[in-house]
Amino acid sequence: MLGYLDQAIADFDHALWTGQGVVSACQTLGNILQALGRFDESVDWHARATQTSGNRAELFSGLGTLYAQQQRWDEAIAAYRQTLKLQPTHAETCWNLANIYALLNQPVEALEYRHRALKQSPRWATCQSHFSLGNDLMANHQIEAAIAAYHRALNLEASFAPAHYNLAVIFSNQKNYEAAIASYHRVLELEPDRIEAYLGLGQALEQQNQWQEALTWYRQAIELAPESVAAHYALGQLLLCQELWNESLVIYRRLIELQPADFKAYFHLGFALLNQRQYAQATAAFRHAIDRAPTQPEPYYYLTRALFEQQQWMEVISTALHVIRQQPNCSDIYRLLGHAIQQQSRQPRGLHKLIAHYRQSPLSSEHGLTFYLHVGDRLLKQRQFNGAILFYRLAVWHQPENEIAATNLKRAFAKRKQLEKTIATRRQQLTENPHQIKLYSQLSNLLTECGDLDEAIALSDRANLLQRWRHVSEKHYEFTWDWFSHRIPIWQEHLGHLAHQHGLQALELGCWEGRSTCWLLDHILTSHDSRIVCLDWTFQARFDLNIDRSDERTKVTKRSGNPLTHLATLPPATYDLIHVGSDDLATLQQRLALCWQALKPNGILLVDEYCQGYLIDDSGNPENVRDGIDQHNQHFKATIDRVLILIATEAKILYQNRQILIQKSLHSVP
């Protein structure tokens, strides 16, 4: 009998395509299906036979179903496609085609026809069908179509929380945070125990700079799920960003209980302890992090900083060298290394002992010379001459015939001698001219290079007091490097009118020890509602020390990491005052463009390192010219000049010398 069915189907197929004998073929199919006991199908085919004109789309759909029942997929697909050619909105046929393509493991085609089926007849499918379609579309990166599918699901069942949640995730990914926040709130109305919704809501609020609200939702997530690692990490990260160190310590200690093998919890615990100046405990935490992830470079870097603050110079040196082997371009590590070598060299025969130590324990048997020369060059560039001498001597010891090592060693000795001579000259000049502010700053910088920080701080204080910055002694600031004192009269002249203004908003890129930040807090940002945001790759310990001593900590927001990342998120016309003190030439033009966009009309942009000779003037060392620093400044000036051309119609230059001050037109369009 099945053979008769195959023949009947073939006859019907032929009749349908030729248009001859369709009624008879339908009747034959009905009879055979009745004989096979498939009574419902038999009735359908007899009914089709009674139609005088016949609906060819329905007939092809029926033919496709017969072929599908026999797993004759190619014939079924052909019949169903003919149905859609005759009646493109035939939803059931689209659905049947989707099922066949799914069986044939052709997901793209299956998704296409399932999407068509539900789009043609939204009420024909269930809420779950639309939701599943949305998930399939998401998996195939068809985001807008997925959003439409989730909305159709919600049109059928407005309280279907999974669709609201997936929409919230999509909106967050699209940076449509207001829509995401609304969707997350709806999820939590429907499913108050859904932890991932708390976390997603907190992250969306973070992106909107709604820090306190985000903290609230993260804390609620932890109350709801005390064992949730994800919730603890989300809260911990935001606490660190907001510098809420005490609470972050609690969170990361809890994370260590939850995941004792995870290095990240120990690392972030150490970071919080470091910022609390609990250096010994921070050291222990970083060592635990290293034990769990020996190849991760970050714990070594921060361990170096913790050891530096404890003046454990030999350990600073060994840990810093480990960082350099992993990250040779980490510029700050050379400063720490150079100062540690300088301090260790102050001990009797200290430099000779260091050389002997590293001869007995070579840093790299395979790449020793290359490594020694690289570290020596970087230290020489930072004017850390004892450090440079150490590594050039190791290079000469490693390969005595190497001319580069021998030449650079002589150069480092000569520069150290020149530095000592320059210091002696500045001391004599200062004795003869005790009111010359520049001399105090120059000598302070030179002594900082040599590691004589106490005297450097005292000289820097004297320079600032001569500029009538009385808060330096009253608040016991600690500044070493002084690239700022000579600017105080210019800043006072052009920024003085901003003092005491309510709601004044400032931004600073590159903050170092916080000297310019503290001056602004003491003289310009004096209203209770004034604020300053400080951006830097990383913040020095003295920055936090000085900001704490300013008694204006609540006015300061720190953002560590790539300043470009933060600048790109700033809305236009946000700040009254922006100071660009960072010296990253590669990104200078991009940073200035973003800063100009973020500056309010009538606001002032201050940019350092504009005029050639800036570093020469401030250090008092003409050797800098031959080191190529004058060329570096020329590139800086050329870059700033290109930006000035672009903003010429809306910019007024207030001051132009070693630093440039530019005011934005009051009528500038945000």
Instruction: Report yes or no: 615 and 591 within 8 Å, Cβ to Cβ.
Output: no
pLDDT number for residue 633: 62
Across 143-168, average pLDDT: 93
Find all residues with CB under 8 Å of 271, minimum gap 6, and list them. 240, 282, 302
3-state helix, strand, coil in the chain (%, to 5): 70, 5, 25
**What distance in Å separates the CA atoms of residue 12 and residue 63, rounded to the nearest whole number?**
8
- Determine, yes or no, domain membership for 564: yes
Instruction: Report yes or no: 321 and 368 within 8 Å, Cβ to Cβ.
Output: no
**What distance in Å separates the CA atoms of residue 397 and residue 649, rounded to the nearest whole number?**
61
The Cα-based distances of 44 to 41, 257, 354, 615 in angstroms read 5, 68, 97, 94
pLDDT number for residue 582: 65
Look at residue 604 and tell me whether its pLDDT is greater than 70.
yes
- DSSP class of residue 384 equals -
- Determine, yes or no, domain membership for 593: yes
- Determine, yes or no, domain membership for 140: no
Across 16-41, average pLDDT: 81
**What distance in Å separates the CA atoms of residue 471 and residue 518, rounded to the nearest whole number?**
9
Q: Write the pLDDT tens digit of every residue in 638-664.
A: 888 888 888 888 999 999 888 899 999
Which CATH number characterizes residue 640's domain?
3.40.50.150
- Determine, yes or no, domain membership for 633: yes
Domain total for the chain? 1
Q: Which of 486, 462, 488 is nearest to 473 (CA)?
A: 462
- Determine, yes or no, domain membership for 344: no
- Determine, yes or no, domain membership for 163: no
Instruction: Report yes or no: 15 and 22 within 8 Å, Cβ to Cβ.
Output: yes
User: What pTM was estimated for this model as a whole?
Assistant: 0.71
**What distance in Å separates the CA atoms of residue 298 and residue 411, rounded to the nearest whole number?**
33
Give the pLDDT band of residue 481 (cuts 50, 70, 90).
confident
What crossing angle do the helices spanning 313-326 and 297-309 adopt, rounded to 10°?
Answer: 160
Query: Looking at 242-251, 264-273, 559-568, which range is the least confident one?
Result: 559-568
Instruction: Report yes or no: 477 and 549 within 8 Å, Cβ to Cβ.
Output: yes
* Domain with 526 in it: 485-664
Q: Write the pLDDT tens digit of every residue in 78-133.
A: 888 888 888 888 888 888 888 888 889 888 788 888 878 877 776 667 888 888 88
- Determine, yes or no, domain membership for 601: yes
Look at residue 360 and tell me whether its pLDDT is greater than 70.
yes
What the block records as the tokens of 371 is 């490594």
**What distance in Å separates the CA atoms of residue 607 and residue 474, rounded to the nearest whole number?**
29
**What distance in Å separates the CA atoms of residue 483 and residue 113, rounded to the nearest whole number?**
68
Query: Looking at 116-125, 331-340, 522-531, which range is the least confident one?
Result: 116-125
- Amino acid identity at 650: E
Q: Write the pLDDT tens digit of every residue in 182-210.
A: 999 999 999 999 999 999 999 999 998 89
- Determine, yes or no, domain membership for 498: yes
Mean pLDDT of the chain: 87
Q: Write the pLDDT tens digit of every residue in 444-472.
A: 988 888 878 888 989 988 988 888 898 98
CA atoms within 13 A on the CB side of 520: 29
